[in-house]
């Protein structure tokens, strides 16, 4: 419904068209030429239809004679169809530490597999605290192990890299790249 109200706000119809001259397109698609708004409204009134401003930025503005209610309905149907076709990709985040235990690692790797199977991207972060910054190779080893474990399920979208006190890798599901 939000898109319908947007159409009302952006499209001017009938007496709300303020240009002096407009280019008119008849309901059957035939060009009627450039005329005054009053003349175009008379033609639309004879056909029992509305005068709808299609292209307000053109010189002169382009208006079409049509049923405005049907036009609004068609626009809302198109908006719903476009919304259905959109695929939303979520980025799930998994945090680890460079001293992670085997069980915790397995638990988080299992979650990463589930996220990838659901079609979501996974961002894995290894956070370093204090003196751990001197040994970033442990974090790199954990991420490399995870990437090998997820081989076939995930594609490395961005390789492991340091961002401040974190080492980050972004994985995307294999099926979405196909």
| Strand ranges across the sheet with 91-96 | 91-96, 121-127, 166-173, 154-163
pTM: 0.52
Over residues 39-81, the pLDDT tens digits come to: 888 888 888 888 888 888 888 889 889 888 888 898 899 999 8
CATH fold of 91-177 reads Translation Initiation Factor IF3 (3.30.110)
Write down the domain spans for the chain.
Answer: 2-84, 91-177
Q: Are 55 and 94 in contact (CB under 8 A)?
A: no
Instruction: Work out the pLDDT band at 97, boundaries 50, 70, 90.
Output: very high
Q: Which CATH number fits domain 2-84: 3.10.620.30, 3.20.10.10, 3.40.50.300, 3.10.20.80?
A: 3.10.20.80
The H-or-E segment that residue 30 falls in is: none
Q: Give pLDDT, residue 3.
A: 44
Percent above pLDDT 90 for the chain: 33
């Amino acid at each position: 419904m939000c898109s319908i109200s947007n159409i009302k706000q952006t499209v001017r119809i009938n007496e709300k068209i303020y240009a002096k001259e407009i280019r008119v397109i008849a309901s059957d698609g035939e060009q009627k030429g450039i005329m005054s708004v009053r003349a175009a409204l008379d033609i639309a009134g004879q056909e029992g239809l509305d005068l709808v401003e299609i292209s307000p930025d053109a010189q002169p503005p382009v208006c079409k004679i049509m049923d405005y209610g049907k036009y609004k309905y068609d626009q809302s149907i198109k908006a719903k169809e476009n919304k259905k076709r959109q695929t939303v990709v979520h980025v799930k985040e998994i945090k680890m530490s460079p001293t992670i235990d085997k069980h915790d690692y397995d638990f988080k790797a299992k979650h990463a597999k589930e996220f990838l199977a659901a079609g979501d991207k996974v961002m894995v972060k290894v956070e370093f605290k204090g003196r751990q910054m001197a040994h970033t190779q442990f974090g790199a080893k954990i991420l490399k192990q995870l990437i090998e474990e997820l081989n076939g399920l995930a594609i490395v979208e961005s390789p492991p890299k340091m961002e401040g006190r974190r080492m980050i890798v972004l994985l995307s599901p294999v099926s979405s790249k196909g």
